Structure 1
Amino acid sequence: MTDPTAARPLEMAKAYEHRLVEQRLYDWWERSGLFAPRDDAPRPPFVISIPPPNVTGELHLGHAMFVAIEDLMIRWRRMQGYQTLWVPGTDHAGIATQTQVEKLLEREGTSRQAVGREEFLRRTWEWKEKYGGEITRQLRRLGASCDWSRERFTLDPGLSRAVHTAFKRLYDDGLIYRGIYLVNWSPKLQTAVSDLEVEYEERNVSIWYVCYPIRTATWTGPTAPWGSGQWAAGATEFITVATTRPETILGDTAVAVSPGDARYAHLVGKEAILPALGRPIPIIADEYVDPEFGSGAVKITPGHDKNDYEVGKRHNLPMINIMNPDATINEAGGPYVGLDRFACRKAILADLEREGLLVKTEPHKMNVGISQRGGEIIEPLLSEQWFVRTKPLAELAIAAVRDGRVRIVPERFEKVYFHWLEHIEDWCISRQLWWGHRIPVWYLPDGSIVVPGSDEPPPAEGVQDPDVLDTWFSSGLWPFSTLGWPDDTDDYRRFYPTSVMETGYDILFFWVARMMMMGCYLTGQPPFHTVYLHGLVRDEHGRKMSKSFGNVVNPLEVVEQYGSDALRYTLVTSGTPGQDVNLNPQRIEAARNFANKIWNITRFVIGKLGDLPRTDSVKITPEILHREEFTLADRWILSRYAYLVAEVDRLMEGYNFGEAGRQMHDFLWGEFADWYVEIAKVQLEGDAQRANLTRRVLFTVLDGSLRLLHPFMPFVTEEVWQYLTEAYQQPDPTPTTPYAELGRRTLSYAAYPTPLAGMHDEAVEADWALVQELIVAIRNVRSEYKVEPAKWIAAIVVAGERADLFRTQTPLISRLARVAADKLTIVTDLAERPRQAASIVIGAVECFLPLAGLIDIVAERDRLQKELAQAEADVARRSARLANESFVGKAPPHVVQKEREALAAAEAAVARLRERIAELEA
């Protein structure tokens, strides 16, 4: 088996094998120090901070997407001469990592609580060291040209110092506080979780209608025990509420109706008696209530519902928590204390029915919040937590986009960004975990709180808060904490603010907005000038990738089968910014074939270059183009190349990378390979000067195309460019190689093509298009008449005032259309149309192909007559079917439409066959 890390062979193999190239090249790039920013680069810094993957995660297509796009930007700017820095790193991912280690302990028959905090953290660091490096190995496999010497981890000492500093500053400025509020609670993990860690599923649930007795002068409350069947005996008036969570009745502090609902106007201001507990609660009016939903009256449970929480604040209602951290019912639950929340639901429904208070049950659909990590239903819960006052921070983040200092691509996401920040709620930053940045707060015996500076010792008599910070708190500092902030480091001065933040649109709120808020407030500057948002990767049918669908794609398996270049190119070119990408396996295979095509093109060109110097000195410039005697085909391909360069420049600067990549493919395969390479084979047979100019054109266009494509497909382009330019014969680059030398030793630093003024020529392109159309038309006729490829035919071209153009191109027309040179006649005009000839019309140009030279006319006429009879019978059959009113009236519309389309195709076939027969009989 061939070693994929072996040295590059001296000659190109017949076929491209990505397995023998990609690992070797990446090791060479990294070993040569090519990923570090160059002090001697001629242009200023261009910096991207990698979205830090979780240390426990496996590589998924989201990682592959950001690598493809971010590495594209880094390699492009590096080739343009910028001091490029791509900062890599990983996130400690508090909940995700802690969950993995807890599962490990569970398999060992123990638990986090049993081993204690110190031992648990030791085991978690052990886990991180074992598995944390795997994701970075996988990123390397995709070709990520990060500066690994600057790799960071969110729990590194420097980043922990940044977190401590940020917390203290926000706390001292009055922007961090502690309070009891409603949070997303994970009963399984027993911690508050962020909105991002809640996933919503539409589920079929029930809605229950429950009667609450009204307190009156004659009935002030129950006289019989709950569950006796007589609890509400004597009550004369009731209000019916609709609920999807009957267990939370125990925490109700009001019943609400719409202010304009005449049905309940007489009850507003009165009290209802809470089932099970007998507690009186007020009946209030609030605009929140939809009179059309359910009964038009709703129970208000501020301690267990976000909307009810807001109603409770408006009406100064008590906030009652009825659950323990594990979602069992606490002392506030009266007779249901100790029951799991869902067991409590069943029990209270049974008791409500026994008491005659359960009116009815209806099916209902609703979105249910699920813990992303724990997998259980999230419980809105009152909990004492640490919060950030976000409004002052949000105002800074909003201003940075509104005044143009930060651009969001695509622009439509600016509205989403503004809407979220303008309606932002305070941010719960505490988590009841052990793995993470421990909150730098100490509680003193006298009840006071101390938040020491990051360089100050904690108070000896104090006890540190046991909670840790939300992972997004440290991630929000990522663009500047990774560069040394809060210290005035060389990297911070040189590379901050960064340039582009590229990530998925799904975390625009949760991460991008937090980086903007924290960066603007703590550093006084936005952390980047551009936010580029990519879409989600879905399967070929547009479905989200899920194990339940069986459509999850492992990107490393794709890389192994098709190569990193193929996957990266497919991801970038399958969509546009902000749009989801449907990953079609056929597109990946096509991209693999594109890499193979590049290999084969290069092998051909190298085989034809002879002793031509492989340097910039032989490239065609606009000045040389207008000085030397180039052919129309030469000028055409150089014009098309110049157009491509200008278009790629425009598209790349506009962040439209997908379209840029698609245009490169169309040019390299459809124009350069399919046309100019074939033309070159003819021109290389000419005299020495003609052959030499053709070689120079081949080298110019291929070298430039490889440079354009390198950021998209770095491996195959680097490998073939090394052979094309013979760069592999030079000494390997090193971190100390002068910048000016690097572009001769590796494509990674070769100058990216810039627009070539004076080389794009629309007149030349129009002339060649006319010639090309003729060649294609002749090929099509040959195909229609099934003429063998090796057979040379005759042609008469009536070209009018363009006759001279076609005469200069006779060698190419002859070779590419397989028209015998001595039977290719080009005339200005023709007195009489040839008999028994296929005709081609291209604008004002007409071409005749004598059929006698193409086919056996008698045999062909007989064959066409048989085809015509079959086609006419098909038309008759389908016409009769469509004339049948029973068929048209009863068949499904799509079946009728399909039949009409088939009839139209059959009629077109009849017309075409009659025309061909007429040509034979003319």
Structure 2
Amino acid sequence: MGEKTLHSVELSSRFDSASFEDRIYNTWQQHGYFGPRKENKNKPFVVVIPPPNVTGVLHLGHALNNCLQDILIRYHRMSGKQVLWVPGTDHAGIATQAVVERELLKEGMHRNDLGREEFLKRTENFALQHKKIIIHQLQKIGSSCDWERERFTLDKGLSRAVRHVFVRLYKKGLIYKGNYLINWSVANQTALSDDEVIYKKVQGKLYHIRYELVEMTGFLEIATTRPETIFADVALAVHPEDPRYQSYHGLHVHVPLIDRTIPIISDGAVDKEFGTGILKITPGHSMADYEIAQRHTLPLINILHVSGHLNDHVPEAYRDLSVNDARKKITEELMALDLMVKSEDIIHQVGHGERSDDVIEPLLSEQWFVKMRPLAKKAIQALREQKIRFYPRKWESTYLRWLENVRDWCISRQLWWGHRIPVWYDEGQNKIIVSEEDPTENPIYQDKKLHQDTDVLDTWFSSWLWPFSVFGWPDYTDDLARFYPTTTLVTGYDIIFFWVARMVMAGLEFTENVPFKDIYITNLIRDIKGRKMSKSLGNGIDPLYIVEKHGADALRFTLSFLSSQGTDLHLNEDTFSFGSKFVNKLWNASRYILQNLDNCTYIPMASCKLRVVDKWMMHRMHMATSDVIQAMQQYRFNDASYAVYDVFWNEFCDWYLEVSKVSLYGNVPTEKNRAVSLLLVFLERILRFLHPFLPFVTEEIFSKLPAARNSSHLIIADYPQLLDTERFPDDFARFEALKDLVRKVRSTRSELTVPRSKRIVVAITFDKNWQYEPFVKQHEEYIKELIYADTIHYAIPHANDDKVISIAGDGYRLHLFIRHIVDVRKHAERIQKQIVKFQQQYAVTQQKLSLQAFMQRAHPRVVQDMKDRKEELANKLRKNKELLDVLKA
């Protein structure tokens, strides 16, 4: 495009993100920018969203996860890739049903009052409402998902995939039904997998109880935290090498309060140090005891109803009591019989439901299971062959540890909301039918009395198929061929075994390919005190509140800037003012440029004569582009964010924009035209550079650029490329030398509180043959403006040593005539005090880092913070000592 007359553009003096964010997002959607372009035949970059549960609103962890995904998506879209981000939500079986049942209770109703069909309709309506809320929230933070491909883990396509997988695994012998000890949630009235149980430290009691010996006089004393399970005892166990009890091997004892005799066995799993070293074996109510019972062929006794009350396998006086009531009654009776030796307070680990937070009861129950070891072998091999990679690498050990110790997966849940198990029972012939289609609709079974299994499948049973089921699998669709396997998964560390490992297993089993190549594990968000954010602590931060207060871009940039791999994010509301300041800086810098266009002519860059400062800026942009490309390849979001921050704020604003003022405010029209044209070139490039991180504000500013620099929309513009024609290493080095000189003067002025309004006299003397002397002299006008000097001399004009403060540089020496306008003595005393303070702080930091106990026990983030603090103090000491030497010279 040739020369063009420019006109100033007004941006509001007050930045207001709410005035354009929704408008811009709607524009993106209306133009269909979020979906992959069919004409694009380049390599695809595909992400499937970790589907949020339809039980509530997004929290800050969701915001972090989705902001990082969107940064990747926008970056690769602008880089020319064929990009797809598939959105969706998870039906969250247990959590969603629990919420709906709580709502029913408020109305004085139970799900049985509605019946299964009506209850499911009500739950579906609830899920639909919350899906809309979640989608709205994702859009508010700028998520550029392809909403036309939105999926739900209970939609028809996913349901078909689930049934297909169940039948396929059943026929292969990898799904079976059996009566085993499972984790039972009384609150939710369903089985849970091992991974859905979290262990918490709780205050309890350790009860010491006497068991009367059968073959000889006397008692053995055991210690237990659960005396109510006495009625389920089938043995006492001691360690085979415990000398205290070797003479009791093979003898028997009477179980207190019940007419039962049980053997004394020996097993290496017994902890000799816990309690009395004797373990009561209740395999019907303890996972560890269950394994011991299997080794010794002991019977299994279940004393609990699914309601959590004692059943008919206990004496009549205890039947239908809750666990806590039974515990109280038993301890009282044992004390009355002089069988209770003592009880003592204890802190111990107790399993709780991950979502319900109720105490989990191990319970014998008939459930459906998946054999995991055959599937796990392939998933382990995939990592070892580097078919998948974790970022950061430390999470690979978590993945491997779970797979190497994997247990069979209990997949049946006693719920109504979920994928119903595709199994029908023939009452007449005592047979089961496992089928993808409903056999009751098949004429073959017309005369049969069939009823479907009432249980549903674990929510994760649909989620582990997510990366390929969203593309229409088990059909071989165009989308499946085009976009699977996906590229990258962004998720949290807490579901590496729940979801990540299972997806890898499913991908290899059903598609013979890994579902994704790269797995980026996001940081854990903590409050400023280091505590994990939670509802109970009330320290969470609503991401939409941050959007309302600071804008979506401020939220996004703060989170990405702080996302250093392997470290936690420590946040409070004030933290987001960092991103807000950055966005405001971009707005104000753009406003300054756009309001200085009147009476200027745009000159194409090819026709502009580039000066050293222009080449320096171009080279600096080239370096930053290289940094971003490398950082994005390694998922180092913090490094990519710092690269764009540094080149815009510290280079473009602090230097290029400042230098350009000499031309903008000068009296040479051609020079002003040249300067304005290049400012527009660099501003447009910076907007493209920043867009993945700050999509809204960059798009809004981009839309205001003169037509000479603006075409279409920024979201589909090209990301800055690495071009050798934009590398100017020699010019870059020359301007860096000038910057170093200016920085030294500015730093000294700042330390000695010389205001900018005070123009000073400076002399510069050069070392012999310093290569940058001609360049410095040539750009005297720039330097004067940057250091706020009236005059620059190249020899000390007179011998007023009492007025001069001299500073040594690399190849030159600066002489600032300011000693007569600053209180040298006062500043020297202040700096000396600072040096003493910094020395003391440095000594404390050094001492802590030298302590072996601190280095071993402290959190890695705390240790790194301490190392960073030490380096910061060392720099402050060095600078203050240099300045003190200058003042004393």
TM-score strictly above 0.5: yes
The 3-state SS of whatever aligns with 1:531 is strand
**1:120-157 deviations in Å (ceiling 9; x for gaps):** 11221222233332111111111111111111111111
The answer as to 2:653 corresponding to 1:673 is yes
Residues 599-748 of structure 1: pairs in structure 2 closer than 5 A: 599-608=587-596, 618-619=604-605, 629-684=609-664, 685=666, 687=668, 690-724=671-705, 726=707, 744-748=711-715
Give the CA deviation at 1:866.
7.0
How far apart, CA to CA, are the structure 1 residues paired with 2:574 and 2:80?
36
Q: For 1:619 and 1:192, locate their aligned partners in 2 and report how far apart those are by CA, in whole Å.
A: 68
Q: Which residue identity is paired with 1:438?
A: R
| Residues 188-267 of structure 1 aligned to structure 2 (within 5 Å) | 188-216=187-215, 236-267=217-248
State the alpha-carbon separation in 1 of the partners of residues 99 and 739 from structure 2. Answer: 63
1:818-837 correspondence to structure 2 within 5 Å: 818-820=788-790, 823-827=791-795, 834-837=801-804
- Distance, in Å, in 2 between the alignment partners of 1:601 and 1:18 is 16
- The secondary structure found in structure 2 opposite 1:59 is coil
Cα offset for 1:874? Answer: 12
Native 8 Å contact 1:668 1:705 kept in 2: yes
Separation in structure 2 between the aligned mates of residue 906 and residue 579 of structure 1, nearest angstrom: 28
What pairs up with 1:273-288 in 2 under 5 angstroms? 273-288=254-269
User: Residues 283-324 of structure 1, C-alpha deviation per residue, up to 9 Å, x if partnerless?
Assistant: 111111121111111111111111111111111111211100
Per-residue CA shift, 1:170-217, capped at 9, x if unaligned? 11111100001121111121111234443332112111111211211x
Structure 2 residue corresponding to 1:375, chosen from 357, 361, 364 = 357
Relative to structure 1, is the Cα distance of residues 493 and 504 closer, same or farther in structure 2, using a 3 angstrom cutoff? same
Give distance in 1, aligned partners of 2:558 and 2:827.
Answer: 43
Name the structure 1 match of 2:476. Answer: 488
Counterpart selection for 1:342 from 321, 324, 336 = 324
Q: CA RMSD in A?
A: 3.0
Q: Is the alpha carbon distance of 1:257 and 1:706 closer, same or farther for their aligned partners in structure 2, counting shifts above 3 Å?
A: same
Is residue 2:775 matched to residue 1:776? Answer: no
**1:878–1:178 distance in 2 versus 1, CA, 3 Å:** closer
Q: 2:807 aligns with which of 834, 840, 853?
A: 840
The alignment covers a number of residue pairs equal to: 838
Contact 1:396 1:517 survives alignment (8 Å) = yes
Q: Which stretch shifts more, 401-410 or 686-695? A: 686-695
The Cα of 1:277 is off from its aligned counterpart by: 1.4
1:24 maps to what in 2? 23
Whole-angstrom distance in 2 between the partners of 1:136 and 1:325: 37
Q: Name the counterpart of 2:766.
A: 799
The residue that corresponds to 1:75 in the other structure is 74
Quote the Cα distance in structure 1 between the aligned partners of 2:259 and 2:161.
53
In 2, Cα distance between equivalents of 1:409 and 1:415: 12
- State the 1:550 CA deviation: 2.4
Per-residue deviation at 1:528? 1.3
Aligned to 1:404: 386
Could you tell me whether the CA contact under 8 Å between 1:102 and 1:111 is conserved in 2? yes
Q: Tell me whether 1:517 sits opposite 2:491 in the alignment.
A: no
The one-letter code sitting in structure 2 at the alignment partner of 1:424 is V
SS at match of 2:623: helix
State how 1:76-95 maps to structure 2 within 5 Å: 76-95=75-94
Change (3 A) 1:98 1:418: same
Contact map agreement 1:213 1:272 (CA 8 A) in 2? yes
Confirm or deny that 1:131 pairs with 2:130: yes
Counterpart position of 1:58: 57
Aligned residue number for residue 749 of structure 1: 716
Going from structure 1 to structure 2, the CA distance change for 1:619 and 1:527 (only over 3 Å counts) comes to: farther
1:654-680 per-position Cα deviation (integer Å, ceiling 9, x unaligned): 111221101211221111111110011
Q: Counterpart of 2:488?
A: 500
Residue 309 of structure 1, aligned match among 281, 290, 294: 290
Deviations 1:633-671 (A, max 9, x none): 222222211110111111111111221101211221111
SS of the equivalent of 2:314 reads: helix
**For 1:253 and 1:573, how far apart are their aligned partners in 2?**
59
Secondary structure at the aligned position of 1:397 is classed as helix
Is the CA contact (8 Å cut-off) linking 1:649 and 1:755 kept in structure 2?
Answer: no
Q: Tell me which residue corresponds to 2:115.
A: 116
Instruction: Report the equivalent of 2:859.
Output: none
Which of 765, 777, 792 is the matching residue for 2:732? Answer: 765
| Displacement after TM superposition at 1:555 (Å) | 1.0
Instruction: Indicate if the aligned counterparts of 1:574 and 1:583 stay in contact, CA closer than 8 A.
Output: no
- Give the secondary structure class of the aligned counterpart of 2:794: strand
Q: Give, in angstroms, the shift of residue 611 of structure 1.
A: 8.0
1:530 partnered with 2:518: yes
* Alpha-carbon distance in 2 for matches of 1:877, 1:567: 36
Aligned to 2:436: 453
In the alignment, the residues of structure 2 paired with residue 101 and residue 505 of structure 1 have an alpha-carbon distance, to the nearest angstrom, of: 29
Query: d(CA) in 1 for partners of 2:42 and 2:502?
Result: 30
Alpha-carbon distance in structure 2 between the residues aligned to 1:727 and 1:393: 58
Structure 1 residue corresponding to 2:546, chosen from 542, 547, 558:
558
Letter in 1 for 2:46: V
1:817 to 787, 799, 810: 787
Q: Distance in 2 between matches of 1:785 and 1:833?
A: 19
Offset, 1:769: 2.8
Query: Whole-Å Cα distance in 2 between the matches of residues 878 and 96 of structure 1?
Result: 53
- Are the counterparts in 2 of residues 165 and 454 from structure 1 also a CA contact under 8 Å? no
> Where does residue 577 of structure 1 map in the other structure?
565
Unaligned stretches of 5+ in structure 1?
1-8, 219-235, 730-743, 880-900
Kindly provide the amino acid, as one letter, of the partner of residue 812 in structure 1: Y
1:436-469: CA deviation from partner (whole Å, max 9, x where unpaired): 1110100112211101233764644211000000
Q: Give the stretch that moved more between structures: 404-413 or 140-149.
A: 404-413
Contact 1:436/1:471, CA 8 A, preserved across alignment? yes
In structure 1, what residue type is equivalent to 2:308? Answer: A
Q: Distance in 1 between matches of 2:213 and 2:817?
A: 101
Aligned mates of 1:656, 1:48 — CA distance in 2: 17
Cα displacement (A) at 1:75: 0.9
Greater RCO, CA 8 A, separation 6+: 2
- Counterpart Cα distance in 2 of 1:209 and 1:117: 47
In the alignment, the residues of structure 1 paired with residue 124 and residue 754 of structure 2 have an alpha-carbon distance, to the nearest angstrom, of: 72
Shift of 1:553: 0.9
Q: Report the alpha carbon displacement of residue 690 of structure 1 after superposing the two structures with TM.
A: 4.1
Per the alignment, residue 528 of structure 2 pairs with 540
Deviation per residue, 1:596-627 (Å, 9 max, x gap):
1111111223334568888xx9457xxx9xxx
Aligned-pair identity (%): 42
Structure 1 residues 865, 657: CA separation in 2 closer, same or farther (over 3 Å shift)?
A: closer
| Alpha-carbon displacement from aligned partner over 1:244-289 (angstroms, at most 9, x marks no partner) | 1111121111111111111111111112221111311221111111
The AA in structure 1 aligned to 2:635 is Y
Structure 2 unaligned spans of 5+: 1-7, 840-871
| Cα offset, 1:11, TM superposition | 4.2
* Cα distance change, pair 542–785 in 1 and its aligned pair in 2 (3 A): closer
* Paired position in structure 2 for 1:736: none
Deviation sequence 1:460-504 (CA, Å, 0-9, x none): 421100000000001111111111111122212221111111111
Identify if the C-alpha distance between structure 1 residues 727 and 532 changes in structure 2 by more than 3 Å, giving closer, same or farther: farther
Alignment pair present for 1:472 and 2:460 = yes
CA contact (8 A) 1:161 1:454 kept: no
Cα distance in 1 between the residues matched to 2:322 and 2:574: 50
Question: For residues 265 and 330 of structure 1, what CA distance do their matches in structure 2 show?
Answer: 36
Provide the secondary structure at the position in 1 that maps to 2:26: helix
User: Which residue pairs with 1:849 in the alignment?
Assistant: 816
d(CA) in 1 for partners of 2:61, 2:745: 48
Q: Could you say if the C-alpha distance between residues 612 and 36 of structure 1 is closer, same or farther in structure 2, counting changes exceeding 3 Å?
A: farther
Determine if contact 1:92/1:471 at 8 Å carries over to the other structure: yes
